[in-house]
Structure 1
Amino acid sequence: MKYRWFFEIIIVVALSLPIVLPLVSPGFFSMHDDTQVGRVVAMGKALKDGQFPVRWVSDLGYGYGYPIFNFYGPLPYYVGGSLYVLGLDGLTATKIMLAIGMLLPSVTMFLFVRSITGFLPALVASVLYAYAPYHAVQLYVRGAVGELWTLIFYPLLALGAFRKSVFWGSIGLAGTILSHTLLGFATIPFLIIAFFLKRLPLSILLLGLGLSAFFWLPAIAEMKFTDVAGQVSTTANFRDHFVCLPQLWDSVWGFGGSVAGCIDGLSFRLGKLSILLSAVAIFLLLFKKPVTRIRSIGWLGFVVAVGSLFLALPISQHVWELSPYFAYLQYPWRFLATAAFGMSLLGAMVFATLRPERIADLFALLTIGILLFINGKLFQPQYIINRPTRAFETNEELRWRVSKISDEYLPPGLAKPTSQSQLPQGVVVDSGTSFSYQLTSTSSAEVIINKAYFPGWRYWVNGVNLQPKISGGLPVLAVPKGQNSISAQLTNTPVRTLGNVVSLVSLLVFGGYLWQKNRP
């Protein structure tokens, strides 16, 4: 049995390998969120400094530093950063992080569906999931690493729900939240409904939230100290980014951006074969009445796919306007990822239902071949940039080019540089969470510290702890005449400590649950 599972997973991975082949090529490619190598390097440096959990990075934010991993899903970057700590360069570590996010979804989808159906229906589901057109958009167009990684955990969450498994369910929920906070929390209402309808263990929800509390508790409580809300209100209005219905069937493949109307520069197609299989599955659900265990994944796929497409289309605008929370999602087409999950389940149900079995198996193999041949062509970048590996890790790269792309985690009101010559100078940084330097003053004065202020920073002048004045997002300290020693240390706030404790206790409970379950 164990060997069978091993060989089946080898087949799943082998079929998925073509979608990551561009990552093997020398150099790298451009993407909308072209910050990934810089973030992996920043995470790696923070881990080397002994910071855990990592919240603050010193090189990004134009060199002012900012708490990106206090808010932005850190899980993929823990993996990439750990590889950097182990000695890999930032580019290689990033490519491995991206490859994991591309390959593992097919494995977890296979594990979930295989627990309910035969081998070939599960294999079809994994290939539909891996080769979904929007999956290619996420990496080779958008560079949406967090959303990419959530695809790993959706099937695990479903596996936990179907088997009432606290192990898989809590890992699925925690992993989703730690990969992409907003999409993670978007799954919770569906879980709550499932608890009432299916009598699922409440411990799945509690333990999943507990394991990830070190991240989401401070993220919610401390978001107001960043410029995220200000940028959300000015950079992307969700009303401009609904998908036009014809775009789901066919839209031109491109590497541009999302704009108002139906002339977007990137594709929102679902894949014609996936749409046709979903239509057949819905027909079978309504008229064929598959056996209960097969019907269950069909209905799950139907609810997820239809619900996701509803939220991606303009007809759901009134729902989006019910809560200010939706504004942070910015792009309704993000739900195409969950639509791909649901449609993959519908595709699996078709081949698990059709009879005779030999004909179903033949069509399953044909479907896999078509997906590899047609959809496989989408998994290519626009072009490859041949830059030296070290060029991705320079101060100029991190403090200027990468920082310009993503500076929303700086404090509100901080004047952002408009040229490299305006980057902050003069602070001697000992580590990502502390710094110190000597200053000689000819008179009593106020000194502006060129490190962004964030709750938890503590400051000392000549060994005396001082409360700074905050001006334009930067701390200002009063210093006396003469030689002065100025130092600072980032410490935990009460909400960070609470989150850390909740996660640690949850981890102990999780370990105790596993020990109890596996005890002879």
Structure 2
Amino acid sequence: MVLAAIPAMLPLLHGKLTSGHDSLFYPPRVVTFEEGLKEGRLLPRWTQEFAGGYGEPYFNFSPPLLYYVTSLFRFAGAGVIDSLNFAVAFLLLLSGFTMYLLAAEIFDRAGGLVAGAAYMYAPYTLTDLYVRAAYAEFSAFATLPLIFWSFYKLAQTRQIRYLIAAACSYALLLLCHNPVSLIFTPFLLLMILLSALRQRSRAVLLSQSAAFVLGLALSAFFWAPSLLEKKYIQIERLLQNALEYQNHFVYFRQLFNSPWGYGISTPGPNDGMSFEIGAFYLAALGVGGLMLLARPLLPNREQRWFVALMLIMAAASIFFMTEASSIAWAYLPPLQYLQFPWRFLVIVAMASSILAAVPSVLTRGRGRFVEWLPVLIIPVIILTSLSKCKPNAVHPYKDDFFKAENIIARKLETSTVLEYRPKWVQNDPPGSAASPLDLTAGSARLEVQQRSQTRYRFQIDARTPSYFRFNVHYFPGWRVEVDGVGRDVEPNNRFGLMEFSVEPGVHDVVARFQNTPIRATAEAVSQLGIVMILILSIYACGEIKARASVLRSED
């Protein structure tokens, strides 16, 4: 699997930032997330460097898993660009391994290798890597097969260790990417329901439901505030103008013939990027369907059930990509936040890659040499995809370009339509934030005693009643205290900046960003989920020891 991944990841190992639709957004995120971790915040919800140094709650709404991975490489000594590239390369390799794990479990090891390679080289995988540079979305790819594997094993064995794996893998998805989580969750619920119906077992339904709920609990610290506090940002910008979902339905023929390109998605059938499923992947879907119909070719009930599930997922995803589903999009508002119906290609890529393993059942039990014949298709998969395994160009920027002070001075943005701006911001200030606190009226002398992303301390010597503008965008959680007494700082200016006043005299002023009740409750739920995982782990260890003891006694 490692050898198969090398051609796809080589452009990520040259120490340069590859071009792509979103590639310039990621280094600033990597830098600010790392700064937050260094300050002791496990989830740096507020990033002061963004919005020209006036700050925005970026990581309160953008899933953090990719940036945890980049931070591991940063703390190991890698540069900003290298850490991003290494993280993406690692996740590419991990996606191949998790797909191998799933397909090998359902079919066999040879089929698992084919499926793993197919997943890494699926057209949409390479689109996310080298056309869109949508690394956050791509980070979810590795979790999808892992979720299905762990929930499948849980249904088969009902062992606690697989309940833990299922809960953790689903939690990881929720920490990867919001749109992919929204797309995938209904299919996971369908799998849970069908597993229980197929086995006619309440125990299967209860165990898988428990894993699902526990996964929600583990990740609640992120998704609950993200969902419940989105009313405080300008999230509606995702539904406006060029980003409206109606502009991005895929024409059915584009799924079969769509030229590869590095442009963008546009209204009509002449997009600058490809939405092809891919000939090999269409063949995999077709072969899977034929073998499902021909029972003698695929007699195993478990395999037939799983093939049917993948075909249902692929068919539903194709439906939701095309204009035929426009009524569903109109009446399901959460779908509209996906922006691009073609995001459902991630499900088609996963399902078709799994089905690429189906033909391996025809060679099983026919001798070691014949059993491994299916892997000969792997070089064909790679060779036919090589032309897509590269970016259109590389950016000239080095790590210094993305230093925290440069992010502020250059007003480097991390989203296309500034949807993470607090709702109180009507206009951006004309320049970057030069100082954290400005005197707007009165006479006073001030000293900055402490300054970090989420905490400031000032000493103010006011000779007259004085008014100050705190050059930070207001957002729930910010609190300003003058001599230990909280002040109302909700902005009354079009820039959304906090303001307060002091009386004559010397004052100690502290401004800090803290949890809201929603965030505190969500974090408590996640902590409870972690406690449950620890308790279940103790039981799982006992379960494993008991099984080992039984095996030894049988020997």
TM-score by length of 1: 0.92
The residue that corresponds to 2:452 in the other structure is 431
8 Å CA contact 1:44, 1:81 repeated in 2: yes
Structure 1 pair 515/376, CA: closer, same or farther in 2 (3 Å)? Answer: farther
- In structure 1, distance between residues paired with 2:240 and 2:94: 34
8 Å CA contact 1:242, 1:314 repeated in 2: yes
Q: Indicate yes or no: 2:285 matched with 1:274.
A: no
Instruction: Give 1:82 deviation, angstroms.
Output: 3.6
- In structure 1, distance between residues paired with 2:17 and 2:414: 19
Partner-residue secondary structure (3-state), 1:459: strand
From 28, 33, 37, the counterpart of 1:38: 28
The residue that corresponds to 1:444 in the other structure is 465
- In structure 1, distance between residues paired with 2:371 and 2:403: 49
Higher alpha-carbon deviation: 435-444 or 500-509? 435-444
Q: Indicate yes or no: 2:419 matched with 1:408.
A: yes
From 108, 112, 135, the counterpart of 2:98: 108
Instruction: Give 1:440 deviation, angstroms.
Output: 5.2
The residue that corresponds to 1:259 in the other structure is 266
Higher alpha-carbon deviation: 266-275 or 160-169? 160-169
The residue that corresponds to 1:171 in the other structure is 168
Higher alpha-carbon deviation: 473-482 or 206-215? 473-482
The residue that corresponds to 2:509 in the other structure is 486
- In structure 1, distance between residues paired with 2:404 and 2:46: 19
The residue that corresponds to 2:118 in the other structure is 128
Partner-residue secondary structure (3-state), 2:267: coil
From 219, 222, 229, the counterpart of 2:236: 229
The residue that corresponds to 1:7 in the other structure is none
Report Cα offsets for 1:293-337 as digits up to 9, x if no partner.
322331122122111111111111111111111111100001101
Report Cα offsets for 1:135-155 as digits up to 9, x if no partner.
111021112122111111111
Instruction: Give 1:480 deviation, angstroms.
Output: 2.3
From 315, 325, 344, the counterpart of 2:324: 315
Partner-residue secondary structure (3-state), 2:464: coil
Instruction: Give 1:252 deviation, angstroms.
Output: 1.5
Gap regions ≥5 residues in structure 1: 1-11
Instruction: Give 1:374 deviation, angstroms.
Output: 1.0
Q: Indicate yes or no: 2:538 matched with 1:515.
A: yes
Higher alpha-carbon deviation: 90-99 or 193-202? 193-202
The residue that corresponds to 1:249 in the other structure is 256
The alignment covers a number of residue pairs equal to: 507
- In structure 1, distance between residues paired with 2:150 and 2:318: 24
Instruction: Give 1:120 deviation, angstroms.
Output: 1.2
Matched letter for residue 426 of structure 1: S
The residue that corresponds to 2:475 in the other structure is 454
Instruction: Give 1:349 deviation, angstroms.
Output: 1.2
- In structure 1, distance between residues paired with 2:337 and 2:62: 12
Structure 1 pair 369/225, CA: closer, same or farther in 2 (3 Å)? Answer: same
Instruction: Give 1:395 deviation, angstroms.
Output: 2.4
Report Cα offsets for 1:376-410 as digits up to 9, x if no partner.
32110111223332222252345535316453211
Instruction: Give 1:441 deviation, angstroms.
Output: 4.9
The residue that corresponds to 2:225 in the other structure is 218
Instruction: Give 1:346 deviation, angstroms.
Output: 1.4
Instruction: Give 1:496 deviation, angstroms.
Output: 0.7
From 349, 360, 367, the counterpart of 2:377: 367
Instruction: Give 1:238 deviation, angstroms.
Output: 0.5
Q: Indicate yes or no: 2:26 matched with 1:15.
A: no
Instruction: Give 1:262 deviation, angstroms.
Output: 0.8
User: Cα RMSD between the aligned structures?
Assistant: 2.2
Q: Indicate yes or no: 2:401 matched with 1:387.
A: no
- In structure 2, distance between residues paired with 1:437 and 1:417: 25
Structure 1 pair 517/74, CA: closer, same or farther in 2 (3 Å)? Answer: same
Structure 1 pair 415/322, CA: closer, same or farther in 2 (3 Å)? Answer: closer
8 Å CA contact 1:351, 1:360 repeated in 2: no
8 Å CA contact 2:238, 2:337 repeated in 1: no
Higher alpha-carbon deviation: 100-109 or 456-465? 456-465
The residue that corresponds to 1:143 in the other structure is 133
Instruction: Give 1:461 deviation, angstroms.
Output: 2.2
Who wins on radius of gyration, i.e. which is larger? 2
Gap regions ≥5 residues in structure 2: 155-161, 197-204, 437-447, 546-555
From 292, 302, 305, the counterpart of 2:311: 302
- In structure 1, distance between residues paired with 2:227 and 2:370: 49
The residue that corresponds to 1:466 in the other structure is 487
Structure 1 pair 369/493, CA: closer, same or farther in 2 (3 Å)? Answer: same
Structure 1 pair 243/237, CA: closer, same or farther in 2 (3 Å)? Answer: same
Q: Indicate yes or no: 2:38 matched with 1:74.
A: no
Partner-residue secondary structure (3-state), 1:449: strand
Instruction: Give 1:426 deviation, angstroms.
Output: 1.0
Instruction: Give 1:357 deviation, angstroms.
Output: 4.7
Q: Indicate yes or no: 2:150 matched with 1:160.
A: yes
Higher alpha-carbon deviation: 344-353 or 322-331? 344-353
Identity %: 28
Q: Indicate yes or no: 2:373 matched with 1:376.
A: no
Structure 1 pair 138/66, CA: closer, same or farther in 2 (3 Å)? Answer: same
8 Å CA contact 2:16, 2:82 repeated in 1: no
Report Cα offsets for 1:31-88 as digits up to 9, x if no partner.
2112111101110000001112221111112211111111111111112124324443
The residue that corresponds to 1:190 in the other structure is 187
Matched letter for residue 42 of structure 1: T
